[in-house]
Amino acid sequence: MGDQPLSIFQVSGRAMSAQLVRMNTTASNLANVGTVSSSPDAAYRTIKPVFRTAFDQASGMSTVDVEQVVTAGSEPTKRYDPGNPMADKDGNVWEAAVDETRELVDMMETARNYQNNVEVMQTAKSLIIDTLKLGR
């Protein structure tokens, strides 16, 4: 990670950044619930971030980074809908297989994780201020 040890603020900041990516992918998945396409290749697929833990030797703390964003989940669902303008020559459309419930649970979990890191930063700040007040 470098010669300088990571501070608790850097560790929490990285975790918050990772959770922000997770929240954005979840929002994208929710925005595409029920979207249809004229082919399975063009249909929306659920995306998820892949996290990687990084250990900092200098501080002895671990942090997290987003390594990549990948497609995950089920294949698009084929549905017969000849009246849909997106229908292929056989009258089929492919609907994005986004599990709305799972995405909402992920969103709540992500928000909680983000808030936990905000609280870590606030606690660390309070402890630093209290320590400085002792020196007066």
For residue 36, give both structure tokens.
């249809």
CA pair distance 67, 17, nearest whole angstrom = 12
What are the mean pLDDT values of the chain's consecutive 10-residue runs (136 residues total)? 76 94 97 94 95 88 92 91 92 94 96 96 93 87
Residue type, 24: N
* Predicted local distance difference test score (pLDDT) of residue 3: 67
For 1-136, list the strands marked E by DSSP: 36-37, 47-56, 61-71, 77-80, 92-95
Return the sign of the alpha-carbon dihedral for residues 35, 48, 108, 20.
negative
Residue type, 29: N
Residue type, 120: V
